[in-house]
Every structure is written in structure tokens, then in C-alpha cells.
Amino acid sequence: MFTKVFTITNLLLFFSIACILIATYTLYTSWQSTNWPSVTGKASLPSNHTKGSINSHKSPILTTTITEIYYSYAVSDRGSFFGIAPINKNTNFKSNDRVTVYYNPNNPKQSTLQPGPNWVYFIVFLILGCILAIGAYSWHKKVKALTNKDRS
């Protein structure tokens, strides 16, 4: 029993560290995008997708609409590329609109329409990592208490 619980504690701790590292990496890479060069790209027709609502009445308030814009851009000596970016549903893009595309000079396939830190991903992964770390610690405490109780 001790080794099985010890393995679960290690897994929780491993996933906790992985989430915190992903959060840090996401923040670091998105922060770098503020220094990327930009080119003018061309927007394609947006695609609307509606995810299911939280309740069974399909209330429009609880229905989430995710709108994506497809864009293409060319980097002079590296070729043409394309990307997909989420946009605000109130943003009006038409086919062939010009957009400013920020691209990674070391890897032009990596691009964004909105440079800067992505705080949402950072916070989600950081909170998830902290919850898993707390779970690993409390699981370890319970196992330690049980093993000390068994020894007595």
C-alpha cells in the first residue's frame, strides 16, 4: 500500500511541476513576441464555432462562441506561412482584410496577431500546478500519518 500511495504522490508532484513549468514557458515565449518583427498579412474568412451551453435550455448567455481568424503572411526570404488566431466576437474582419502579423525571426512559422504575455494560460497552468502540489503534499501527510499509526 505504501508504494502505491507513494507513486500517486510522486505523480501528483510530477504533474504539478510540469504545470508550473508550462506556465513559466508560456509566459516567457509570449513575452518574447513583443520584440518580434511584423509584416502585413491577409485575413481569410473567419470560422464560427458554438460550444454547448452549460444548461439544457441553451441559454444564449451561457453559450460560448469562439471565433477564429485565419491569416496568411510572407516573410521576404523565408517563404509564405499561415496561422489561426482567436479573436473577439465583436471584431469585424472580412476576407482579404490586412492584418499585422508578428512572427518569430528564428522560426517564422510561429506567429501571432496579438504580441505580449498571455496571462490566461499562465494563470490557468499556475493555479493547476499549485492545486496539484497541495494535493501531493496533503496525500503525503495522510500516508505519513497512516504509516506512523501502523508502526505504533
Task: Write down the pLDDT at residue 148.
Answer: 77
Is the CB of residue 76 less than 8 Å from the CB of residue 37?
A: no
Task: Write down the pLDDT at residue 65.
Answer: 54
Is the CB of residue 22 less than 8 Å from the CB of residue 128?
A: no
Task: Write down the pLDDT at residue 142.
Answer: 81
Distances (CA, A) of 37 to 31, 34, 78, 98, 108: 14, 9, 14, 16, 10
| pLDDT tens digit at each of 152 positions of the chain | 555 656 777 888 888 899 899 889 888 888 888 999 999 999 886 555 444 434 444 445 544 455 778 899 999 888 999 888 877 666 666 778 899 999 999 999 999 888 888 788 888 888 999 998 888 888 888 877 877 776 76
Task: Write down the pLDDT at residue 103.
Answer: 93
Write phi, then psi, for 38 (nearest 5 degrees): -125, 155
pTM of the model: 0.61
Task: Write down the pLDDT at residue 5.
Answer: 56
Q: How far is CA 12 from the centre of its chain?
A: 20
Task: Write down the pLDDT at residue 121.
Answer: 80
Is the CB of residue 23 less than 8 Å from the CB of residue 125?
A: yes
Task: Say which amino acid occupies 141.
Answer: K
- C-alpha cell read off for 126: 499556475
